[in-house]
Amino acid sequence: MMESMTTSPYYHSNLTDITNNDSLYDDYDYNDDHNYKDEPTELRQSLNIMSLIVYSLAFVLGVLGNGVVIWVTGFKMKKTVNTVWFLNLAMADFLFTAFLPLSVTYTAMDFHWPFGKFMCKLNTTISFLNMFASVYILVVISVDRCVSVVWPVWSQNHRNVRKASYVSLCVWALALILSAPYFVFRDTGPSYENENIINCFNNFALSDDSENRSVAELQLFRHKVMSITRFLLGFVIPFSVIVSCYAVIIHHLRRNRTLASQSSRPIKIIAAIIITFFLCWAPFHILGLIELVSHIINHETLIHIIMIGVPIATSLAFLNSCLNPLLYVFMGQDFKDKVRKSILKVLENAFQEEVSRSCTYTTSMVNIRSKDKSVSDAEIL
φ/ψ of residue 200, rounded to 5: -110, 115
Least confident range of 57-66, 77-86, 90-99: 77-86
Region of residue 46 (left: phi > 0; alpha: psi -120 to 50; beta: else): alpha
Domain spans, the chain? 17-209+220-331, 333-381
pTM: 0.76
Residue 274, H or E segment: helix 264-297
Mean pLDDT along residues 349-361: 43
Mean pLDDT along residues 288-311: 77
101 Cβ contact list (under 8 Å, min separation 6): 59
CA pair distance 196, 194, nearest whole angstrom: 5
Dihedral sign from CA coordinates of 190, 192, 196, 197:
negative
- Residue 212's pLDDT is 54
- Residue 29's pLDDT is 39
246 Cβ contact list (under 8 Å, min separation 6): 142, 145, 146, 270, 273, 274
Least confident range of 56-70, 116-130, 260-274: 260-274
- Residue 358's pLDDT is 43
Check whether 136 has a pLDDT greater than 90. Answer: yes
Q: Are 133 and 175 in contact (CB under 8 A)?
A: yes
Using DSSP, state whether 30 is helix, strand or coil: coil
Q: Predicted confidence band at 105 (pLDDT cuts at 50, 70, 90)?
A: very high
The one-letter code for the residue type at 262 is: Q
Check whether 23 has a pLDDT greater than 60. Answer: no
Mean pLDDT along residues 308-325: 84
- Residue 20's pLDDT is 38
| Domain 17-209+220-331 class, CATH top level | mainly alpha
Check whether 37 has a pLDDT greater than 80. Answer: no
Q: Predicted confidence band at 219 (pLDDT cuts at 50, 70, 90)?
A: confident
Q: pLDDT tens across 221-237, in order?
A: 888 888 899 999 999 99
Dihedral sign from CA coordinates of 256, 334, 241, 164:
negative
Q: pLDDT tens across 152-206, in order?
A: 888 888 889 999 999 999 999 999 999 999 999 999 988 877 888 899 988 887 7
- Residue 295's pLDDT is 67
Residue 161, H or E segment: helix 161-185
